[in-house]
Chains A and B, each alone.
Chain A
Amino acid sequence: MMSRIHKRIRISLIQKLYLCFLFLILFGWYKNGLVPYLNHYYPVSHLFYILLFPISGFGIGALFDYLFKNKMPYNNKFYGLLFSLIIPIGTNIFLFLFVLTFLLFLNTLWISKKDLDFHFIVFGKLFLIAILLCLGHYNYANLLEESGLFVYSYLDGIFGYIKGGLFTSSAVLILISFLLLVFDTYYKKEIPFYSYGIYFLSLLFFSIYKGDMNFLLAHMFSSDVLFLLVFLAPLSSFSPYSKKRITLYSILVGFLILPFSLLTNFYEGAYLSLILANLLLIGLNFLQIKQILRQIS
């Protein structure tokens, strides 16, 4: 197809996302691989172990793209890499590969084909957590953090020295990534803005109600929540595109994070709220298309 290309070619959103992921992976490797190794918690063979997750995630995605001739901008390589970032450290590599393969099959054979908005990455994380809970391997802390010998300050936590997803623990890096993404035309910046605003307000009111402002301080920079709001919630393929729906979706995600986090924990609460908002979006889309088709006929 010939395209009317006359504007300057700029760095695309997906390239920016890869760049952000690269820095998150480097930090994750430093925090979960290098630091425990230097403190003699892991043997040298374990030094690069956690890098196997993003490498294999990307590789399996590439294999899927090659086999199914996927030409989507957000392809399986991207999703494979993205999924590897959010898993808990206690995940076994084979379990990770099994779940990822299942998710990529789901995406290729059903979600992409039917043009559904189902956020299979978020669903995949919750599915993986369910398996880990059943197997008793649910764990977000590396050996160093498990030992409890290192006491980190609040500021250390914001920088990323805190329990969290394998490569998602640095709130600072996520916020820097957000600054990089927010000026991109194709980034749905309204979603993280509105959602975080609502989340922050709900935290504030809850802290006032509880009379414990430390609760606000402890969770306002929760890296897993921030990662979800900056990277997962605004993903074009799974988020709404009309102004009204973006607002509704963002408010719903932001509003549900706290109750779900209180019901479960701050690692998965946000994921539950996003999947619920996502299912609502699918329902609305379905009803809209049905209505349009009825009008035509």
Chain B
Amino acid sequence: MYNKKSGEIMAKLIKLDKNDSLNTPIESVSYNTPDLIYVPFPPRKEDLKKERHIKKDTMLYENTYAPVSGKLTGIDTCLVSNGKKVNCLVLANDYQEKSGNTKATRKKINGLKKEEIIESLFDSRLKEKIANYTGNTLLISGIDDEPYIVNESFLQQEKTKYIVDAIDALLTTIPNGNAIIALKNTDSKTILAYQNILGMYKNMEIRLVDDLYLIGKETFLTRYLRIQDSVLYLKASEIYEIYVNLKKRKPLVEKHITINGNGISKPLIIKTKYGVNVADIFNKYYVEDLSTCSFYVNGMMGGLQLDLNHLIVTKEIQGIIVMKKEQRIQKSCIKCGKCISICPFHKNPLMAYKLGLKVSCIQCGLCTYICPSYIPLQKYLSGDNDE
């Protein structure tokens, strides 16, 4: 499975020992009628004009668009997926869905020039990424790295045609361009969804990868696929965003989040707008008592254990894993060294744990996952050791 040619770093990736009792969500629901929307804003007081009416899709700040139409009613402090508290504008939904964008939908997006594509995009990071790319390989990761979160997979199954159209549109701007869609070899539904369409596109191919944790990250994926040249790496969800931007000429103001875990009766994929209070979603879809559960925002591996109150949906949020609280006694380190050998970047978590040194890392959570003594090493690496 591991090839030396693909680099030493690849040997570090492992297949996670997943909990079989956690099911993959198969049902999707839409939550599009929140009463209030919270829009994180940069601390600039001059931007605050209370009681201002906002139309849907209107740009509020850079890369931030109004997900609903309504009135700005004030400011509140909310929690985002990285655990930080941010100030948010509170937008009261008027349920009119009046869009501030009057541009007509494009009939077809294939054949657009690179400049037109870049101009049509709403996210400055995407614009920059595409504008700066000069190679000819488009690498699309359709992989959900976090276990029990299946947003990318679900989106691809649901929007296969649109994603392929957007890839095709991007490829027309790349001379001799080709696209590689990387999928996990265990994701049979997504593979099948693409296979039904891709026959018509000569310059697109599916490449299957093993079900290894972190394989969806650009560094590991390019090494695994042995791609030597520079690639334009995009997630399937970014491709879909490009499709919406190009076709509808609107920003994407909603996203899928996975809710899974042994603390809830039914795992769901929820399509919701940015800025929705996550607690509202739970109140609507889950009647069970969740007071005895822990909430892992963005997964069990790289996510954070947060309180759901005041947590809002942002672009960075992928899902919430609700787990029944299970006490495990943290034991002393037995010096097995697994945390070091499993780290894909050869970091030494023991230096942070034992000597209190600052060790920078990507917070993938593998050290915590592998530790037989249940030491939350991830916390020590982030410099916060009070879990």
Contacts and interface: CB of A to CB of B under 8 A. Distances in A.
User: B interface, how many residues as a size bin?
Assistant: 35 or more
Contacts of B387: 1-2
B336 A188 contact: yes
Interface in B288-323: 294, 296, 300-301, 305, 321, 323
B336 A236 contact: yes
B326 A2 contact: yes
A91 to B, nearest CB: 29
A73 interface: yes
Q: Is the interface of B mostly helix, strand, loop or mixed?
A: loop
Interface stretch (A4-12, A203-211, A213-221): A4-12
A2 B325 contact: yes
B283 interface: no
A3 B336 contact: no
Contact of B369 (A4, A239, A246): A4
Contact of B335 (A5, A8, A12, A236): A236
Given A2-B387, A6-B19, A292 B374 contact: no
Nearest to B294: A2
B334 A2 contact: no
B327 to A, nearest CB: 7
A115 B357 CA distance: 17
Q: Is the interface of A mostly helix, strand, loop or mixed?
A: loop
B370 A73 contact: no
A243 B11 CA distance: 14
Interface string B341-360: 10000000011001101000
Contacts of B17: 7-8, 10
Chain A CB within 10 A, most for which of B300, B337, B338, B373: B337
Interface string A223-255: 000000000000011011111001000000000
Interface of A: 1-8, 10, 12-13, 71-74, 112, 115, 117, 185-186, 188, 236-237, 239-243, 246, 289, 292-293, 296
Given A12-B372, A73-B373, 12 more contacts: A3-B376, A4-B365, A5-B374, A7-B18, A7-B19, A8-B18, A117-B335, A186-B336, A239-B335, A240-B337, A243-B341, A296-B357
